[in-house]
A and B are shown apart, each in its own frame.
Chain A
């Protein structure tokens, strides 16, 4: 080994070089020219009008005339925000169940010899369950929630269930992957101690191992809830009554003031959730 001449660049250097080369190759391939950054005159005016309204979001409906029976704009924004939260919460609840079940089944610790002892049946069951759950997790999260939504819209129509499942599937897959890694990386000393005191494999896992991973799992779930809010809002583009639905409607009607009202509502929602999850983390995990 000592006699080998080192390559001019190491393995890491080669990877970085390949990434840079791929980036450079993409420019001619996709026809990325500085010229395409210059907007057309009409585009420029539109962007200008839109940006100007950032300072003056609409407080009342900009439709003229306002259709009869339309609720006040701010009320509509708040109701849409509430719907967004409800969709995100329902999706996350389902995703958590999927994530916990698949995350446990695919974690190596759940099957580890040092936590369970040897079992003949497990020699067969463990690899089958681990790999089938890992494959399922990959399938779930390799498809974006918008694509799942397209699929379920075709199958189930535009019901709230469609949106909730569309978000829950990829989120469940991601939670499962991250949960299983957190569980596998958790220190096992307390789990070994419980095992040496005669605790059953399930008790060892739940009370010796899981508490070590739980703070990270909770923090990550709170972050994913925030992501679920954005996903739920975007799914409104498909007609679910979340913020995205009204956002799209107002944008298409060139009611830019309303667009900003809804954008600020989404922004406020994220800030509130961020503050709330921070408070939870400080309270329970500090």
Chain B
């Protein structure tokens, strides 16, 4: 399988994301975030829920538009792209969603193959989803083999365990042939004993394929042991951006304490 030589480069400049709060006052989910993530880098976003981790990830894959500021993926500003160009950028970024977002009543093979739809026209999409070629199935099988569940290829997705479904979601993202991999709280959909495996797998896969990896994590221990760079978010702002050695317990706890106050 041909892989892009290097991962995506993300640059955020003065990004603000404003949601209409239920009560009327708008809430800034992200408030003036500026950062750069280099090709092939592995970054963990840490912080309490509501700190803006999910919003940041959805900005990186072009699902959310910023209220202000710019997002550059490999130099192109997502806010200025035409819908067609935006789809091309999205196709190059694989996302493993927190709720996995698979279609439960389709086969595992179909969920994996649906990762490629961003690169296909409609007729080719119908073909690959309903009458997959031997080549399609071979590549889906190879990906499932890589994530450790090759025997589930033709199983119905809702018959799988949470951990197996997460691997399907990862395989779907990889079938996109992405240049970057994003994962939102990959630990929440598996039992605690498997959490380490899940994060380790994402790290391995992105390393062997040269993908930029951005993962949001609650768990500081996991973030510390797997990632060379941690970005702490608090109330939609970057609280720290440093290698794990420079982030002590106190800095991490501060994320949570201040969020409550």
Listed in ascending order, the chain A residues whose CB lies under 8 Å from chain B are 117, 119, 189-190, 192-200, 202-203, 206-208, 211-212, 214-215, 285
Q: A207-B114, A207-B117, A214-B105 are in contact. Are A196 and B62 (CB under 8 A)?
A: yes
Bound: A137/B89 CA distance, A = 40
* Chain A contacts for B93, CB-based, 8 A: 196-197
Question: Which residues of chain B from 69 to 95 have a CB within 8 Å of any chain A CB?
Answer: 83, 86-95
* Chain A contacts for B62, CB-based, 8 A: 196
* Chain B contacts for A206, CB-based, 8 A: 125-126
Which of B29-37, B40-48, B96-104, B140-148 is the contact stretch?
Answer: B96-104
Bound: A110/B256 CA distance, A = 41
* Chain B contacts for A200, CB-based, 8 A: 87, 117, 121-122, 125
B103 contacts A207, CB within 8 Å? yes
B91's contact among A117, A119, A198, A207, by CB below 8 Å, is which?
A: A198
Bound: A194/B106 CA distance, A = 14
- What class of interface size applies to chain B in its complex with A? 35 or more
| Residue picked from A119, A189, A212, most chain B C-beta under 10 Å | A189
Bound: A199/B84 CA distance, A = 10
Nearest CB of chain B from residue A265's CB, rounded to whole Å: 37
* Chain B contacts for A119, CB-based, 8 A: 83
* Chain A contacts for B176, CB-based, 8 A: 197-198
| Residue picked from A119, A189, A193, A202, most chain B C-beta under 10 Å | A193
Bound: A200/B114 CA distance, A = 12
* Chain A contacts for B255, CB-based, 8 A: none
Q: A197-B90, A197-B115, A200-B87 are in contact. Are A207 and B105 (CB under 8 A)?
A: no
B102 contacts A190, CB within 8 Å? yes
A192 contacts B63, CB within 8 Å? yes
Q: A190-B103, A200-B87 are in contact. Are A195 and B63 (CB under 8 A)?
A: yes
* Chain B contacts for A211, CB-based, 8 A: 103, 105-106
Nearest 4 pairs of A and B residues by beta carbon: A198-B118, A198-B91, A193-B101, A198-B90
Bound: A173/B172 CA distance, A = 38
> Is B61 close to A, CB under 8 A?
yes
B97 contacts A189, CB within 8 Å? yes
Nearest CB of chain B from residue A156's CB, rounded to whole Å: 37
A203 contacts B101, CB within 8 Å? no
| Residue picked from A200, A202, A215, most chain B C-beta under 10 Å | A200
Nearest CB of chain A from residue B107's CB, rounded to whole Å: 11
A197 contacts B103, CB within 8 Å? no
Q: A189-B97, A192-B101 are in contact. Are A203 and B117 (CB under 8 A)?
A: yes
A207 contacts B129, CB within 8 Å? yes
> Is B58 close to A, CB under 8 A?
yes
Bound: A215/B106 CA distance, A = 11
Bound: A103/B4 CA distance, A = 42
Q: A203-B122, A215-B105 are in contact. Are A193 and B91 (CB under 8 A)?
A: no
Closest B residue by C-beta to A202: B122
A197 contacts B83, CB within 8 Å? no
* Chain B contacts for A196, CB-based, 8 A: 58, 61-63, 90, 93, 95, 97
> Is B207 close to A, CB under 8 A?
no
| Residue picked from A189, A195, A207, A208, most chain B C-beta under 10 Å | A207
> Is B119 close to A, CB under 8 A?
yes
Q: A117-B83, A199-B114, A285-B105 known; 15 other A-B pairs, CB under 8 Å?
A: A192-B101, A193-B95, A195-B90, A196-B58, A196-B97, A197-B61, A197-B172, A198-B87, A198-B91, A198-B119, A199-B125, A200-B122, A203-B120, A207-B129, A211-B103
